[in-house]
Amino acid sequence: MNPIQTKLPKVGTTIFTVMSQLATEHKAVNLGQGFPDFDTPAPLVDALARAAREGRNQYSPMSGLPALRQAIAAKTKKIYGRDVDADAEITVTSGGSEAIFDAVLAVVHPGEEVIVLDPCYDSYEPAIELAGARAVHVPLDAHDFHVDWQRVRDTITPRTRMLMINSPHNPSGAMLSAQDMATLADILRRTDIVLLSDEVYEHIVYDGARHESVLRHPELAERAFVISSFGKTYHCTGWKVGYAIAPRALSAEFRKVHQYNTFCTFTPAQAALAEMLEQHPEHHEQLGAFYQPKRDHFRALLERTKLKPLPVPGGYFQLVDYSAVSDLPDVEFARWLTVEHGVTGIPLAPFYETPPAGQRLIRFCFAKNEATLEAAIARLEKVC
Ligand code: GLN
């Protein structure tokens, strides 16, 4: 047999896996891959155990348990003011990543283009390439990660099928404003471009800011897949439950892919999340207030080091500038910091087609217990 010709020549193992493995190998404090090291809420864990015990262990409907879709619809109406049809416009998926993959595969054709804003999450481009399409990268501002909408406008061609946005943004935490959404609506008007809005950090916002969900903006929502993830909201990233909200016609195409990709998502977790959403709405309402002291504490601790924290409007990642410590490129710096100093972060280069020359930033996840953050700082303080 001839050697397999790779379909993804640019892809190796994802940086999150690489850095987590390296952290384990070197017993480093792992602030790399984004996951909380504190407990999932007890009522949710209890509900999961109960669902499994009560025998809710078989396939759910392909689009998700009705109770969960209804709870998502009620929440969407309450917080974003949008009426969403739980039967036709919501699909539960095995995490946000599956939803991104399904959406791209469902509507993007070979030879088309998808605009992504760099730095962007590393799963976007492989999904686009597997669809036979091409990712066209538009850089965000290198300092505050705002979108240069004129550049986006100039990048659109007759082949552009989709634009992908992400707010709060991974890795920077930057958030799109109401003005951004108005500009975006103006750009997409009179085009056939589908919008994919990755909003998995939607509830983790700070300082009284408002998350500008695409679901608040009817004109955008009419052409969008809006993707979220329970893993981020309920501290259960390993459960892999997310969802996509999209108008009926887009959801119908989305489900054609979803049904043959995973068919349905782990039923006990869906049952537990439905119960949690109904009985503990305060959980997601208070998530920003829960994370804000962690963010502020971590930033205060960083003052003891030579690392310079950038602002964090949303999400649970802290970018730090390490140029006062090292001139190594970020991938090498992240490896060095893990191996020599026992602290793991994520370099930004894998989020870019072309990383900005001389950028010296790495990402730390502060969704951690105080003791974890303090252990990391105790090590970082010693880095010359
Ligand atoms: N979303 C997580 C992050 O940005 C990574 C998830 C994964 O490893 N697949 O850290």
Ligand 1 atom closest to 200 (CA):
1
Positive or negative CA dihedral for 377, 381, 382, 384? Answer: positive
User: What integer pLDDT is reported at residue 173 of this predicted model?
Assistant: 98
Note the pLDDT tens digit of each residue in 291-338. 999 999 999 999 999 999 999 999 999 999 999 999 999 999 999 999
Ligand 1 centroid – CA 33 distance (Å) = 5
- 203 CA distance to ligand 1 middle (Å): 17
Task: Give the position of tokens 């969802």.
Answer: 243
The sign one gets for the Cα dihedral 100, 101, 107, 109 is positive
Q: Whose CA is nearest to atom 2 of ligand 1?
A: 34
Ligand 1 binding site (Cβ under 6 Å of any ligand atom): 14, 16, 33-34, 170
Beta strands in the chain (DSSP E): 29-30, 90-93, 113-118, 134-139, 160-166, 194-198, 224-229, 242-245, 308-309, 317-321, 343-344, 346-347, 361-365
Output the CA 230–ligand 1 centroid distance in Å.
Answer: 14
- Which residues are paired to 270 by β-bridges? none
Closest atom of ligand 1 to 96 CA is: 1
Please tell me the pTM assigned to this model.
Answer: 0.97
- Is the pLDDT score of 248 beyond 90? yes
Name the residue of 16, 30, 166 whose CB sits within 8 Å of the most ligand 1 atoms, as the mutation to test its pocket. Answer: 16
Indicate which atom in ligand 1 lies nearest the CA of residue 16: 8
Domain spanning 42-282, CATH architecture: 3-Layer(aba) Sandwich (3.40)
Ligand 1 atom showing the smallest separation from residue 237 Cα: 6
Residue 246, Cβ density class (10 Å: 0-12 exposed, 13-18 middle, ≥19 buried): buried
Domain layout of the chain by residue ranges: 15-40+286-383, 42-282
Distance CA 333, CA 29 (A): 15
The model's pLDDT over 125-184, given as tens digits with 9 standing for 90+, comes to: 999 999 999 999 999 999 999 999 999 999 999 999 999 999 999 999 999 999 999 999
**pLDDT at position 204 over 80:** yes
Q: Within 10 Å of residue 43's Cβ, how many Cβ atoms?
A: 14
Look-up of token digits 């303080």: 381
User: What is the structure's pLDDT at 384?
Assistant: 64
Ligand 1: distance of its center to the CA of 34 in Å?
A: 5
Please give the DSSP secondary-structure letter assigned to residue 340: H
The model's pLDDT over 81-107, given as tens digits with 9 standing for 90+, comes to 999 999 999 999 999 999 999 999 999
Q: What's the mean pLDDT in 251-258?
A: 98
Cα of 189 from ligand 1 centre, angstroms: 33
**List of E strands, 172-286:** 194-198, 224-229, 242-245
> Residue 77: how many CA atoms within 13 Å on its side-chain side?
10
Which residue's CA is minimally distant from atom 7 of ligand 1? 16
Share the mean pLDDT of the chain.
97
Q: How far is the CA of 150 from the centre of ligand 1 (A)?
A: 30
Query: Atom 4 of ligand 1 has which residue's CA nearest to it?
Result: 34
Residue nearest to atom 1 of ligand 1 (CA): 34
For ligand 1, atom 8, the nearest C-alpha belongs to: 16
What SS3 string covers 310-335?
CCCCECCEEEEECCCCCCCCHHHHHH
Q: Which residues pair with 362 in a beta bridge?
A: 320, 347
Question: How far is ligand 1, taken at its centre, from the CA of residue 35, in Å?
Answer: 8
Q: What is the pLDDT of residue 344?
A: 98
Q: Counting beta carbons within 10 angstroms of the beta carbon of residue 329, is it exposed (0 to 12), middle (13 to 18) or buried (19 or more)?
A: middle
Question: d(Cα 259, Cα 239) in Å, to the nearest integer?
Answer: 19
108 pLDDT band (50/70/90 cuts)?
very high
Give me ligand 1 centre to Cα 169, in Å: 13
Q: Which of 365, 307, 379, 41 is nearest to 171 (CA)?
A: 365
Top CATH class, 15-40+286-383: alpha beta
Alpha helices in 81-188 (DSSP H): 96-107, 124-130, 149-155, 178-188
Rounded Cα–Cα distance for residues 317 and 346 (Å): 10
CB 318 within 8 A of CB 298: yes
The percent of residues above 70 in pLDDT, for the chain, comes to 100
